[in-house]
Chains A and B, each alone.
Chain A
Amino acid sequence: MQRITVAVSGRPTVAWRIAGRRPPVVCVHGAGVSSREFRPFIEVLGRRHDAWTVDLPGFGASAGPGHPLGVRALADALVEWLAAVGLDDVVLLGGSFGCQVAVDAAVRHPGRIAGMVLVGPTVDPAARGFVRQMLRWIRNAPHESVSMAALNLADYRDAGGRRVLGAFTESLRDRIEDKLPHVLMPTLVVRGAQDRMVPQEWAEEVTRLLPAGRLAVVEDSGHMVPYRQAHALAGLVVDFLAHECAAAGAGGRAGPREQRSAR
């Protein structure tokens, strides 16, 4: 795995990559955490595709400004980073709050983005509130890998309490449901079957709001599907790239996807 550091707005931004076949897939992490949780996944996906995972400014190994950044600023930084490393026609794979950043980027900068994978998209408007989200987070915890806790703690240490809290606050403030109808590229929505942060009905609503969305449910997983079920998710992504992204690339982005045969 290659560590790549480039300057974005004058600050070093760090990403990890396993080079491979196009299109490049760029993983965007969730609130307060970093690319640490995605690295096992890109090791699997990197066997088939060009796989990246990037630390957003202020998280993980990337430097950030003194104040926490909002969704829009994080999305701008992400797109700036894509330009800095020379990536275009990418597929953004967001995890949790990373979906909100990726969706904001896709709506305002669609030119560089060929497709989207939204894994456990937050925040369900039916539970928009700190206490309700915290309760869901607690209910979800038993469905996550125990080994992920150490990575989370390291991420929170790297980011600092202010940024972690800022990211959670921002996730509650951002209304992803207003933006989803404007995401015109093919989008795969993925939910862990035991995800208590993202209930099935919200995952369905996300898919319904997307003009070209499709929902997949991964068994035996809570919220963090990339960490818990890296192989299953990689399989879904490879299939999505082969069928839906390839078809959209040939036939135009917002056009209806061809009927897929049962597999």
Chain B
Amino acid sequence: MKASKAIASFDSATGMLRALSRFLAGRDVPALGKLPAAFESPLSGLLGGLNRLPVAVRERAYAVSGWAEAIPQHRVGEVRSDALAEWVTGHYPRRRYPVIFIGSANGALVHLAAALDAAWLPQTLLLPVRRRGVAPDDPRGDLAAVGEAGRTLVASNPDLVLHHMHDPNQDRLMIAGMTYFRIKWHRLPAAYRRFIRDHLAPGGMLVGVDCTLRWPTTRIDDRYVFQFGALGDATPEEYRLGGPRVAGLLARYGSPVRRWDPPAADGDSPEAEWGTDPTLLDDIRAFAGPRGLDAQLLRFDTPQRLSPAVADLYRTWYADRGLPTGRLLVESFLLLEPWWALRTGSVPYWTVFGTQAFRAHLEAYLDASAPYDEIRILLFNHGTDSIGLAGAQDWRCTAARARKIGLLTGVDAAAYPRDFASFVRSHRALSKIRTRCPLPPSLDITSAAAALTGREEIVWRPMR
């Protein structure tokens, strides 16, 4: 099976891979990097028209678009890890890179890599798999329906660990007709080894990206775990035990239950989407050592941790180049624009999702920073009134902290979080900003490493 058919394109890792690889080829990210910019105008109009349809129709359309990306269960056994890794490395322009990051997906890391002219090879990818007849609020049913396909996948791919994920809170539309298989390499795949050998500049650096976030899981097989729930505002305890916010969500969506009944957790594992499986880091070390490569470790406890650090790094970088430092671009999940961030002289601050907790992180960053003249906020629309989601009005209040221009960019506030035209509109709106800056020469790795080393809760050190 072709890797491009198996891998979800509407996922954090693939969205970030597209954004970074396009940036390194000197390109921006129209329509999430899926379509040429010429299609933006008609597509924006079409999707804007979709926003006028009833909520139930929009939700259905969103769910169907996800289902269309998923592969049938009987073809899961055809997925080959090598093909997936080759598909990843095939994104990048064929040239040398001074730094290659390997590991956890992270929007702030994409901007760090863009500044350094570095490539990033993800540890985790999402394989959406179709399944029928299981309600989103039935995690046991999901496991029973696709468990065999999961076993087949790991049996056919000895270098993969399967994190079967089921989140009826944030992914409830998508999981109506499919299941999330997140696969993690626990060994450096051959394509990654080749990429490093052919494309790491002499004297270049390998950086293992280690997000240490973990989540309760149920072990199904040797390399197969089931994760119920995921990083967001709801806690693992709320997912497992329920509570008023869970009951409220289930009532809002007309579910017959008021709490979930997932399989009992028997341990914890790296979080399916963001966490790094540390065995890969051991393999990077083992690969780098005999070849005399400089291998470093970038470690943080949760994906949001890197955002203020990278934002400050960009701000200092702009100041050093004599550029204004008063423009902030707040990005969301896979809505990333490294090219436009630099072209418009915007300091990038990536948020994991649009929830109150991540908004609070941004507020704390703004509290601790010199005021911004302009704050633009992109909001990823995931179609669901999930637990702790901050409304468009809340985000608008945060944007209003700008001294001059504070706004939501490309977002129809009335339609959020079901404004599917925003996937197209956010890029269009950014590309219309009139003040432009020349793209800079790459940032020096030592100054970036020094800036990150000085942050609490971020580790940058040689791999030992």
The reply to whether B434 and A214 contact each other, CB–CB distance below 8 Å, is: no
Task: Say yes or no for B432: interface residue by CB 8 A criterion.
Answer: yes
> What separation, in Å, do the CA atoms of A262 and B401 have in the docked complex?
6
Interface digits, A248-263 against B, CB 8 Å rule (1 contact, 0 not)?
A: 0000000011011111
> What separation, in Å, do the CA atoms of A210 and B404 have in the docked complex?
9
Residues from chain A with a CB closer than 8 A to the CB of B407 are 215, 217
The reply to whether B404 and A214 contact each other, CB–CB distance below 8 Å, is: yes
The reply to whether B405 and A199 contact each other, CB–CB distance below 8 Å, is: no
Task: Say yes or no for B446: interface residue by CB 8 A criterion.
Answer: no
> What separation, in Å, do the CA atoms of A28 and B363 have in the docked complex?
38
Residues from chain A with a CB closer than 8 A to the CB of B406 are 215
- Expressed in whole angstroms, the minimum distance between the Cβ of A225 and any Cβ of chain B is 16
| Interfacial residues of chain B within 377-398, with CB under 8 A of chain A in the complex | 397-398
Identify which of A207, A217, A262 gathers the most chain B CB atoms within 10 Å of its CB.
Answer: A262
> Closest residue to B370 on the A side, CB-wise?
A259
A-B contact count (CB 8 A): 47
Residues from chain A with a CB closer than 8 A to the CB of B403 are 214, 256-257, 259-260
Task: Say yes or no for A200: interface residue by CB 8 A criterion.
Answer: yes
The reply to whether B404 and A215 contact each other, CB–CB distance below 8 Å, is: yes
The reply to whether B404 and A213 contact each other, CB–CB distance below 8 Å, is: yes
The reply to whether B397 and A263 contact each other, CB–CB distance below 8 Å, is: yes
> Closest residue to B399 on the A side, CB-wise?
A262
| Interfacial residues of chain A within 155-205, with CB under 8 A of chain B in the complex | 199-202, 204-205
> What separation, in Å, do the CA atoms of A213 and B326 have in the docked complex?
14
Q: Could you tell me how many residues of chain A have their Cβ less than 8 Å away from some Cβ of chain B? A: 21
Residues from chain B with a CB closer than 8 A to the CB of A109 are none
> What separation, in Å, do the CA atoms of A202 and B435 have in the docked complex?
11
Residues from chain B with a CB closer than 8 A to the CB of A217 are 407
Residues from chain A with a CB closer than 8 A to the CB of B405 are 204, 207-208, 214-215
Task: Say yes or no for B429: interface residue by CB 8 A criterion.
Answer: yes
- Expressed in whole angstroms, the minimum distance between the Cβ of A179 and any Cβ of chain B is 18
The reply to whether A262 and B404 contact each other, CB–CB distance below 8 Å, is: no
> What separation, in Å, do the CA atoms of A22 and B363 have in the docked complex?
35
The reply to whether B432 and A262 contact each other, CB–CB distance below 8 Å, is: no
Residues from chain A with a CB closer than 8 A to the CB of B236 are none
Given contacts A204-B405, A208-B405, contact A262 B400 (CB under 8 A): yes
Residues from chain B with a CB closer than 8 A to the CB of A205 are 434-435
> What separation, in Å, do the CA atoms of A213 and B404 have in the docked complex?
6
Given contacts A200-B429, A215-B407, A217-B407, contact A259 B401 (CB under 8 A): yes
- Expressed in whole angstroms, the minimum distance between the Cβ of A185 and any Cβ of chain B is 15
- Expressed in whole angstroms, the minimum distance between the Cβ of B149 and any Cβ of chain A is 47
The reply to whether B404 and A208 contact each other, CB–CB distance below 8 Å, is: yes
Task: Say yes or no for B433: interface residue by CB 8 A criterion.
Answer: yes
The reply to whether A208 and B435 contact each other, CB–CB distance below 8 Å, is: yes
Contact of B432 among A200, A208, A261 (CB under 8 A): A200
> Closest residue to A214 on the B side, CB-wise?
B404
- In the complex, which range does the number of interface residues on chain B fall in? 10 to 19
Residues from chain A with a CB closer than 8 A to the CB of B432 are 199-201
- Expressed in whole angstroms, the minimum distance between the Cβ of B87 and any Cβ of chain A is 37
Task: Say yes or no for B371: interface residue by CB 8 A criterion.
Answer: yes
Contact of A262 among B398, B413, B433, B434 (CB under 8 A): B398
Given contacts A204-B434, A205-B434, A208-B435, contact A260 B401 (CB under 8 A): yes
> What separation, in Å, do the CA atoms of A259 and B404 have in the docked complex?
10
- Expressed in whole angstroms, the minimum distance between the Cβ of A236 and any Cβ of chain B is 12
| Interfacial residues of chain B within 410-424, with CB under 8 A of chain A in the complex | 413
> What separation, in Å, do the CA atoms of A10 and B433 have in the docked complex?
47
Contact of A201 among B374, B398, B413, B433 (CB under 8 A): B433
Contact of B404 among A200, A202, A207, A219 (CB under 8 A): A207
Residues from chain B with a CB closer than 8 A to the CB of A219 are 413
> What separation, in Å, do the CA atoms of A261 and B401 have in the docked complex?
6
Interface digits, A203-230 against B, CB 8 Å rule (1 contact, 0 not)?
A: 0110110100111010100000000000
| Interfacial residues of chain A within 64-107, with CB under 8 A of chain B in the complex | none
- Expressed in whole angstroms, the minimum distance between the Cβ of B318 and any Cβ of chain A is 16
> What separation, in Å, do the CA atoms of A205 and B434 have in the docked complex?
7
> Closest residue to A215 on the B side, CB-wise?
B405
Given contacts A215-B407, A217-B407, A259-B371, contact A204 B433 (CB under 8 A): yes
> What separation, in Å, do the CA atoms of A204 and B407 have in the docked complex?
10
> What separation, in Å, do the CA atoms of A199 and B400 have in the docked complex?
20
Residues from chain A with a CB closer than 8 A to the CB of B373 are 208
> Closest residue to B433 on the A side, CB-wise?
A201
> What separation, in Å, do the CA atoms of A256 and B372 have in the docked complex?
12
The reply to whether B401 and A201 contact each other, CB–CB distance below 8 Å, is: no
> Closest residue to A125 on the B side, CB-wise?
B434
> What separation, in Å, do the CA atoms of A207 and B434 have in the docked complex?
12
- Expressed in whole angstroms, the minimum distance between the Cβ of B163 and any Cβ of chain A is 37
> What separation, in Å, do the CA atoms of A263 and B373 have in the docked complex?
17
> What separation, in Å, do the CA atoms of A257 and B373 have in the docked complex?
11
Residues from chain B with a CB closer than 8 A to the CB of A261 are 401
> What separation, in Å, do the CA atoms of A222 and B45 have in the docked complex?
18
> Closest residue to A210 on the B side, CB-wise?
B404
Residues from chain B with a CB closer than 8 A to the CB of A201 are 432-434
- Expressed in whole angstroms, the minimum distance between the Cβ of A47 and any Cβ of chain B is 25
> What separation, in Å, do the CA atoms of A207 and B327 have in the docked complex?
13
> Closest residue to B406 on the A side, CB-wise?
A215
Residues from chain A with a CB closer than 8 A to the CB of B434 are 201-202, 204-205
Residues from chain A with a CB closer than 8 A to the CB of B374 are 204, 208
- What are some 20 contacts across the A-B interface (CB < 8 A)? A204-B374, A204-B405, A204-B434, A205-B435, A208-B373, A208-B374, A208-B404, A208-B435, A215-B405, A215-B407, A219-B413, A256-B403, A257-B403, A259-B401, A259-B403, A260-B403, A262-B363, A262-B397, A262-B401, A263-B400
Which residues on A are within 8 Å of B, measured CB to CB?
199-202, 204-205, 207-208, 210, 213-215, 217, 219, 256-257, 259-263
19 more A-B contacts (CB under 8 A) besides A207-B404, A214-B403, A262-B400? A199-B432, A200-B432, A201-B434, A204-B374, A204-B433, A204-B434, A205-B434, A205-B435, A207-B405, A208-B373, A208-B405, A213-B404, A215-B405, A215-B406, A215-B407, A259-B401, A260-B401, A262-B397, A262-B398
Which residues on B are within 8 Å of A, measured CB to CB?
363, 371, 373-374, 397-398, 400-401, 403-407, 413, 429, 432-435
5 smallest A-B Cβ distances: which pairs?
A262-B397, A201-B432, A215-B405, A259-B371, A205-B434
